[in-house]
Amino acid sequence: MPTADIVDLSRLQFAVTALYHFLFVPLTLGLAWILVIMESVYVMTGKEIYRDMTKFWGKLFGINFAMGITTGITMEFQFGTNWAYYSHYVGDIFGAPLALEGLMAFFMESTFVGLFFFGWDRLSKVQHLMVTFLVALGSNLSALWILIANAWMQNPVGAQFNVDTMRMELTSFFELLFNPVAGPKFVHTVAAGYVAASMFVLGISSFHLLRLRDPSFAVRSFAVAAGFGLASAISVIVLGDESGYTSGEVQKVKLAAIEAEWETETPPASFTAFGFPDQAAEKTHFAVRIPWLMGLIATRSVDTPVTGIKDLKREHQARIENGMRAHAALQRLKSGDRSAEAMAEFDRLKADLGYGLLLRKYTARVVDATPEQIRAAVDDTIPKVAPLFWSFRIMVGLGVWFLFVFSAAFLVLARRRLARNRWIMKVALWSIPLPWIAIELGWIVAEYGRQPWAISEVLPTHLSVSSVSAGQLWFSLGGFIAFYTALLAVELYLMFKYARLGPSCLGTGRYHFESGGRAGPVTLQGTA
């Protein structure tokens, strides 16, 4: 059996590589559409400044995109290198969306991205816009397939266990595609990316506006970001992830943990706005509760209960005990008894096979588990509440803040009062890092909240790892951290350098830092 240090190191490595990758992906997802918007205006109006905007923000897009590719290669191979048992056990289902992501989306994105940068003089205006559009479409379709794969980990529909091959196998591709968790997850994730990209453009434009550099360029960029950002912030909140929390057991557990919902309340449940969750005592100290709110958000009804952690644990204990019987039935089949009765017995119990596997952390022989081992496995079924409770609240708080920033920016701009409201530019500039914090916390809520499962109710994380040594893991983990951190430093250096240069870096001779650029005093008045 995999030892605890191998499991912990593998998880740490996955978290590090995924969190790093997810620093770059959201900006790609959103900035690509912002480029499409800017270039569409260029094609429709013929105004050169919009082409320059597309090129300048495209340059920053490229600096970020390179890091997205660099950190993305790891993700495609890491399931095999570090999660070999997972790859065997669910590869029949999980591999298909990854392969489709390559064939349908990543090919498109990567083939056209070169043409986006190098094709300006070789394509007609409309052709180039099409190329930009295909880059945006490809990157977003890519996210769709990855999130279909991820949604299956949260809510594994359309699959069942095959005794002959000792793994899960696909029973319905349709169910995999239309997993009820996948849709909300996709919308929430890409909209979060759009928010990040909008804040990025809004903040950097504000930087230039505050210094009165290239104001006509910056204010147009500011306007695009404010509009796109406002729409995205609304969708990230309204079409948030909550609607996915009603499907699948792990999602219900996650919801209870996020809310520190120890007891099942009479519906509609109250929302704990603040408090200190105490997992050992199974209560929340100093809780501040808002009546009704959670029941409404989580179930969208007034009479559906939100199951509390204590009740969930009782259910899980029954399922773990059932899982032990499922393993006994599986052993009987493996020993060669394929009688109709033995098959029927296994079919009756196989839904809880995964719960039995939770005991493998404590004993090699699941069927002989002791009551203490069962109790420990039951405790494992609830993820650590405090980190989820806090991550979720900070994420939501930031989401509300983004809505405020974009609304304010949009209103100030629409009323042509930008020059008199320098504060909104300062706020936008200093808010640039915040979407990334919200996004990383969102990953933690979704994936840390999935524990102890790699695949909800099917395969525990501790069984999923490869048979590699701790030394090998230290080598790879150390290498990933060193490489990614060094490359991130380089990326940030270039990003700052080019963001500060502004459109001057295009070398057109029309902008601030260039000899031919505008000199002399400029004001914001009248540019809005």
Site for other proteins in 53-92 (CB under 8 A): 62-63, 65-67, 69-70, 73-74, 76-77, 79-82, 84-85, 87-89, 91-92
Answer for the pair 254, 451: CB distance below 8 angstroms, yes or no: no
Binding residues for other proteins, total number by CB under 8 A: 76
For strands 459-460 and 159-162, give the pairing: unpaired
Does 487 engage in binding with other proteins (CB under 8 A)?
yes
The stretch near other proteins (CB under 8 A) out of 375-383, 385-393, 405-413, 493-501 is: 493-501
| Complex with other proteins: residue 266 or 467, whichever CB lies closer | 467
| Complex with other proteins: residue 414 or 490, whichever CB lies closer | 490
* Binding test (CB under 8 A) with other proteins, winner from 49, 96, 218, 260: 96
Does 500 engage in binding with other proteins (CB under 8 A)?
no
**Gap between the Cα atoms of 209 and 523, Å rounded:** 9
Beta strands in 93-150 (DSSP E): none
Contact mark string toward other proteins, 219..258, x via CB under 8 A: ----------------------------------------
Radius of gyration of the chain, Cα coordinates, nearest whole angstrom: 26
The stretch near other proteins (CB under 8 A) out of 102-110, 306-314, 434-442, 513-521 is: 102-110
**Gap between the Cα atoms of 407 and 477, Å rounded:** 42
The stretch near other proteins (CB under 8 A) out of 101-109, 244-252, 297-305, 390-398 is: 101-109
User: Residue 353 carries which DSSP code?
Assistant: H
Does 517 engage in binding with other proteins (CB under 8 A)?
no
| Complex with other proteins: residue 182 or 441, whichever CB lies closer | 182
| Complex with other proteins: residue 251 or 504, whichever CB lies closer | 504
**Gap between the Cα atoms of 207 and 227, Å rounded:** 18
Contact mark string toward other proteins, 132..171, x via CB under 8 A: ------------------------------x-xxxx-xxx
Phi first, then psi: what are they for 215, rounded to 5°?
-60, -35
Degrees to nearest 5, angle at CA 28 with 480 and 177: 90
Q: How far is the CB of 55 from other proteins (least distance, A)?
A: 9
Nearest to 354 by CA among 462, 253, 270, 262: 462
Paired tokens of 171? 């029973």
Does 12 engage in binding with other proteins (CB under 8 A)?
no
| Complex with other proteins: residue 304 or 363, whichever CB lies closer | 363
State the burial class of residue 338 (Cβ atoms within 10 Å of its Cβ: 0-12, 13-18, 19+).
Answer: exposed
- Per CB under 8 A, contacts with other proteins among 341-400 are none
Answer for the pair 26, 435: CB distance below 8 angstroms, yes or no: yes
**Gap between the Cα atoms of 403 and 160, Å rounded:** 43
The stretch near other proteins (CB under 8 A) out of 40-48, 239-247, 412-420, 498-506 is: 498-506
Using DSSP, how many helices (H) and how many strands (E) does the chain show? 18, 6
* Binding test (CB under 8 A) with other proteins, winner from 101, 242, 380, 447: 101
**Gap between the Cα atoms of 130 and 126, Å rounded:** 6
Degrees to nearest 5, angle at CA 33 with 32 and 36: 95
| Complex with other proteins: residue 118 or 274, whichever CB lies closer | 118
- Per CB under 8 A, contacts with other proteins among 270-309 are none
- Per CB under 8 A, contacts with other proteins among 320-339 are 334
* Binding test (CB under 8 A) with other proteins, winner from 483, 510, 514, 522: 483
The stretch near other proteins (CB under 8 A) out of 31-39, 42-50, 236-244, 504-512 is: 504-512
Paired tokens of 64? 């970020």
**Gap between the Cα atoms of 183 and 265, Å rounded:** 29
| Complex with other proteins: residue 16 or 104, whichever CB lies closer | 104
For strands 167-170 and 159-162, give the pairing: antiparallel
